[in-house]
């Protein structure tokens, strides 16, 4: 039921993380695999780089595109090494990583001899340090940060496209002019990234701002979470509970991070 792609945190990491991607009830009943994916790394013990991707429901290889995009984006950003403190350079690095993910998806499509639209996926890429959170996003979903004063802030906003129930995708044959790049300055204590399957529960509509009663307990959970296998199991139980699945039939991805003092 869970599609898990995540790098374990090292003993010297400044970040504690847990994440899960669960197959939505409509996919389970239709025999469709989970088309969400997530991946993260902690670079140099302090720089968190994480991604969430949501494959398009209409794409035959959506789960492949999501997995490749999330992993490629994180690895491309981490390959750059040290994170610049300059906002313009952070945005440029995020843009470059999204481009590398786009190329990786297109390469996979060519290798499989299929059209790239068959691997269509959204993508959210987040980089976080002790002083900032930056994000690059194509499509829906959202990245959220909690600061040292317990304020919960949306770093990105869902892109629902031009029409209802539509969004933009990473691997469209065009540039990334529809991508959003944001840099939040502050001292993050927690970070969350989620796919659109959880948006109705996690966001206040129609404003699209984070719903504090949804995020606050989750941030408390990750800050006090047990070892990774048990923490992931508990997160999956939360995401698979009726109070969640009765309100959405889509695939669900939620990754949570707490900064270790």
* DSSP states along 44-112: TTTEEEEEEEEB-TT-TTHHHHHHHHHHHHHHHHHTT-SPPS-HHHHHHHHHHHHHHHHHHHHHHHHHH
Predicted pLDDT of residue 100: 96
Predicted pLDDT of residue 57: 86
Residue 4: pLDDT band by 50, 70, 90 thresholds?
Answer: very low
Predicted pLDDT of residue 10: 42
- What does the pLDDT average to over 129-149? 96
- What does the pLDDT average to over 105-116? 95
pLDDT, tens digit (0-9, with 9 covering 90-100), for 27-47: 888 888 999 999 999 998 899
**pTM (whole model) above 0.85:** yes
What's domain 15-259's superfamily in CATH?
Answer: PPM-type phosphatase domain (3.60.40.10)
pLDDT, tens digit (0-9, with 9 covering 90-100), for 203-232: 998 888 999 999 999 999 999 988 888 999
List all residues 6 or more positions away from 24 whose beta carbon is below 8 Å from its beta carbon: 34, 197, 245, 248, 249, 250, 251, 252
Nearest CA among 69, 126, 46 for reference residue 94: 126
Q: Lowest mean pLDDT of 104-113, 120-129, 134-143, 221-230, name the range.
A: 221-230
- What does the pLDDT average to over 109-129? 96
Predicted pLDDT of residue 205: 84
Residue located via tokens 């404003």:
207
Q: In whole numbers, what is the pLDDT of the chain averaged over residues? A: 90
Q: What percent of the chain has pLDDT over 90?
A: 74
Widest CA span of the chain, in angstroms? 51
Predicted pLDDT of residue 214: 97
């Amino acid at each position: 039921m869970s599609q898990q792609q995540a790098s374990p945190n090292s003993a010297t990491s400044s970040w504690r993380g847990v994440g899960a991607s669960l197959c939505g009830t409509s996919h389970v009943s239709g025999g469709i695999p989970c088309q969400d994916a997530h991946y993260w790394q902690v670079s140099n013990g302090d720089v968190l780089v994480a991604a969430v991707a949501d494959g398009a429901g209409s794409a035959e290889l959506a789960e492949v595109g999501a997995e490749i995009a999330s992993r490629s984006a994180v690895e491309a950003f981490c390959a750059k090494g040290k994170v610049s403190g300059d906002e313009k350079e952070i945005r440029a690095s995020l843009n470059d990583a999204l481009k590398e993910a786009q190329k990786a998806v297109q390469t996979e499509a060519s290798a499989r001899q299929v059209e790239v639209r068959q691997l269509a996926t959204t993508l959210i890429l987040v980089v976080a340090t002790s002083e900032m959170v930056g994000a690059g996003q194509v499509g829906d979903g959202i990245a959220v940060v909690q600061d040292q004063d317990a304020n919960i802030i949306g770093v990105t906003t869902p892109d629902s496209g031009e029409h209802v129930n539509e969004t933009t995708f990473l691997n469209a044959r065009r540039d990334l002019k529809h991508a959003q790049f944001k840099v939040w300055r502050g001292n993050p204590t927690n970070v969350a990234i989620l796919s659109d399957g959880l948006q109705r529960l996690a966001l206040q509509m129609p404003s699209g701002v984070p719903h504090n009663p949804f995020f606050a307990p989750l941030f408390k959970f990750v800050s006090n979470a047990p070892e990774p296998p048990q923490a992931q199991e508990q997160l999956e139980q939360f995401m698979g509970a009726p109070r969640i699945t009765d309100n959405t039939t889509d695939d669900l991805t939620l990754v949570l991070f707490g900064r270790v003092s």
